[in-house]
Amino acid sequence: MERFDDSLTIEQLSELHLLIRWAQPVAAAHLRRCQLGLITLADALRAFPWVAEAVPGDLTLAIECTVPGCLHRLQRCLAVGLPPSSAHAPRQHTIAVRYGGEFGPDLGWVAKQCGCDEQTVIRRHTQGKYWAAFVGFQPGFAYLEGLPPELHLPRRATPRLRVEPGSVALASHYGAIYPAASPGGWHIIGHTDLALFSPSRTPPALIQPGDEVQFVEESRHD
């Protein structure tokens, strides 16, 4: 049994919507454990008929219920413990990237801001050990923890009106890949041909919360 104690708080957002969050700020050293705890909790809650969906966010878990009055049901579940989740184990993804040039128009700017050359940015980016903390912004857009601190940069001051599908990007302490064309304010350093989202696939999003990701430079991957 997996137990969840009073370190979690539950907020009633509406008659059918609840939000779980950690009661205290989470230290960086415990970030992954706490986020994976919420991902595991989401998997377990989806087995209940009164849960329509459970969606992990940034150290939060949003729950949509099928019937009113689920706050007490959730409190009871957290108090007594939940059965082990039947969800698949996190997967590992190796993603080949073409860096720089037309594929990564911001690579040179990122290198300048980080005080290094482009090849150093590529080396640091491919050395990162990434894991998907949550999915948001657009279907299949996974926020990847694990970006090396040397590459932490604020978002662009002026977002692009269009970012191409497959664009490999970074902003703040996250890495990401754009699954579909959209406006975007992240720094584009490369591109992958991998399809991140497909409605005909099960699940549609390739990268799921908890999955691990490794980027490799395409010439080295082939």
Q: Tell me, what CATH number does 75's domain have?
A: 3.30.1360.40
Q: Does residue 206 form part of some domain?
A: yes
Cα 62 from Cα 45, distance rounded (Å): 11
pLDDT tens digits, one per residue of 146-201: 999 999 999 999 999 999 999 999 999 999 999 999 999 999 999 999 999 999 98
Final residue in a domain of this structure, among 28, 52, 80: 80
In the structure encoding, which two tokens stand for residue 98, read together?
Answer: 């073409």
Could you tell me the pTM of the whole model? 0.86
Q: What is the pLDDT of residue 26?
A: 86
Cα 110 from Cα 45, distance rounded (Å): 41
Are residue 23 and residue 55 in the same domain, yes or no?
A: yes
In the structure encoding, which two tokens stand for residue 109, read together?
Answer: 């700017």
Query: Could you tell me what percent of the chain has a pLDDT over 70?
Result: 92
Are residue 113 and residue 199 in the same domain, yes or no?
A: yes
Are residue 34 and residue 98 in the same domain, yes or no?
A: no
Final residue in a domain of this structure, among 25, 60, 80: 80
Are residue 163 and residue 217 in the same domain, yes or no?
A: yes
Final residue in a domain of this structure, among 49, 80, 111: 80
Q: Does residue 71 form part of some domain?
A: yes
Cα 39 from Cα 30, distance rounded (Å): 14
* Domain span at 59: 8-80
pLDDT band for position 28 (cuts 50, 70, 90): confident
Q: Does residue 152 form part of some domain?
A: yes
Cα 64 from Cα 145, distance rounded (Å): 26
Q: Does residue 1 form part of some domain?
A: no
Tell me the average pLDDT across 39-47: 90
pLDDT at 38 over 50: yes
Are residue 110 and residue 178 in the same domain, yes or no?
A: yes
Are residue 105 and residue 54 in the same domain, yes or no?
A: no
Tell me the CA end-to-end span of the chain in Å, nearest whole number.
Answer: 44
Q: Does residue 85 form part of some domain?
A: no
Q: Does residue 25 form part of some domain?
A: yes
Kindly report which listed range (41-55, 132-146, 165-179, 208-222) carries the lowest average pLDDT score: 208-222
Are residue 114 and residue 168 in the same domain, yes or no?
A: yes
Alpha-helical (H) ranges within 46-173 are: 70-80, 107-114, 118-127
Q: Does residue 86 form part of some domain?
A: no
pLDDT band for position 29 (cuts 50, 70, 90): confident
What's the structural domain count of the chain? Answer: 2
Q: What is the pLDDT of residue 30?
A: 85
Are residue 51 and residue 106 in the same domain, yes or no?
A: no
pLDDT tens digits, one per residue of 60-108: 999 999 998 888 888 887 776 666 655 557 899 999 999 999 999 999 9
pLDDT band for position 134 (cuts 50, 70, 90): very high
Are residue 66 and residue 105 in the same domain, yes or no?
A: no
Q: Does residue 2 form part of some domain?
A: no
